[in-house]
Structure 1
Amino acid sequence: MSDPSAPTVRICLADDHTLMRDGLKEVLGTAPGFTVVGEASTGTEAVALVTRLRPDVLLLDVEMPGPQASEVMQQIVRTVPETQVIILTMHDDPDMVYELLEAGAAGYLLKTILREELIAAVHSVVRRPSDSVVLVVSRRTVEQLHRQKPRPHKAQLTDRELEVLRLVAEALSNAQVAARLFITEATVKRHLTNTYAKLDAVSRVDALRKATAAGLIELRSLGLVSVV
């Protein structure tokens, strides 16, 4: 049973097919506490819509007129980092999954998923925005993702920076990380600042996703992976 006191999850849809958007609205309308607050049919419209409405979640198709999905992702992460972006597509492509997770996507779902899986994915990225990456892709794609070579960064993370990042992935606060590692909270913040710079990240969420995409953190440790 849903919690009537829980805040409403505000969702925007970005897909150039009106029928697809209508279907998504119908599906999401069956979930208590969800409301669709805006729609876009191009990448440019999606960025403008999210910037104006600042929704909790954006469901983003990868094939729309305008800028590429990765560019749309980067603009949203830069301007509205609190919005969780879930890719919803027909493309079961490990290279595309890798690229969009690295750009900051909170999830990558195939359009063949069940409505229950879509609703669960939205709940997951809203409830645990700092430590969940939700995938619903083929087993082949998951296997290729695990074999994917990390892309080069400005510098490799140190062992201590990796320790801090893995604890952040467990949703621990800076104070909790400091206590776990027997260091000061200021030292934790310094390690995170260095990590952000090395990963070109703008937040804890962005750093976790980029570290996951680069193979620095095990994908399965960060969230739900459904294989279809």
Structure 2
Amino acid sequence: MTGHRVTIVLTDDHTLFRQGLRELLCTDPELDIVGEGCTGEEALALVRQHRPDVLLLDVEMPGPGAKAVIGEVRRGYPDTAIIILTMHDAPAIVRELLECGAAAYLVKTIAREELTAAVRSVSRTRDNVLLSVPRTTMESLERQQKQHTLLSERELEVLRLVATAMSNAQIASRLFISEGTVKRHLTNTYAKLGAVSRVDAIKKAIQAKLIDGLDR
């Protein structure tokens, strides 16, 4: 890595913030800003043009959303690491974008040293995911991960069918198990999710991203 300058594309629709970010990063001789954009389309065009080591991406910009941009960059330019830099710290957003392939998720309140360290880190390795979010967000992510780990594949399967409005009898017929077994799986699932009903279990499962897509 000696002599290597990390190339960066900055994308944020707030011009003043983006300019300040450029000035901040340019104080580091190892970092090289090769492009700036303020829309999802510009982010993708700049990545195609420069193939940077790192794309700094805001969550909310005009055009394709962060999820779509991450997906296209990961498919077409896997050597470009994506850092989400945003004010949004909702656990559901953090989890979704990390699962899409973001290498780091940072809130805009981080210190300069944390940001430059994150840029260097993701440009060198993809083995770790970097997070700089409030403690409450981290705790929520940990709870969601624990819920996902605790639910068995069969319990998830039953829950997905419950979310399609199937009755216990219909689920039993679909999975070739007894109605009593379906009820037992649901009882275990309620306990693990802290749910009190079918509707509550579905709601909590969607919030925890256990049954993706069923809330659309």
- Measured against the shorter chain, the TM-score band is 0.5 to 0.7
Q: Which has the larger radius of gyration?
A: 2
Residue 6 of structure 1: CA displacement?
A: 2.5
Shift of 1:29: 1.0
CA deviation vs aligned residue, 1:120-161 (integer Å, no higher than 9, x gap): 1111111222x121100011111111111449xxx99xxxxx
* 1:134 has 2:130 as partner: yes
Q: Does structure 2 retain, via aligned residues, the 8 Å contact 1:11–1:36? A: yes
Q: Write the deviation string for residues 24-71 of structure 1: whole angstroms up to 9, x where unpaired.
A: 111111112101000111001101110121000000001100011111
What is the DSSP-based 3-state SS (H/G/I as helix, E as strand, rest coil) of the residue aligned with 1:11?
strand
Structure 2 partner of 1:58: 55
Structure-2 separation of matches of 1:27 and 1:117 = 12
Structure 2 length-normalised TM: 0.66
Q: Distance in 2 between matches of 1:6 and 1:100?
A: 32
Aligned identity (percent) is 57
Say which structure is richer in helix.
2
Matched, 1:32 2:29: yes
Q: Structure 2 stretches of 5 or more lacking a match?
A: 155-207, 211-216
Residue 118 of structure 1: how far off its partner (Å): 0.4
Q: How many residues align?
A: 152
Q: TM-score, normalised by structure 1?
A: 0.63
* Structure 1 residue ranges (4+ consecutive) displaced by more than 6 angstroms after TM superposition: none
Q: Comparing 87-96 with 119-128, which one deviates more in the overlay?
A: 119-128
Report the secondary structure of 1:47's partner residue: helix
What residue is the counterpart of 2:90 in the other structure?
A: 93
Match of 2:112 among 111, 115, 129: 115
The answer to which structure, 1 or 2, has the higher relative contact order (CA under 8 A, 6+ apart) is 1
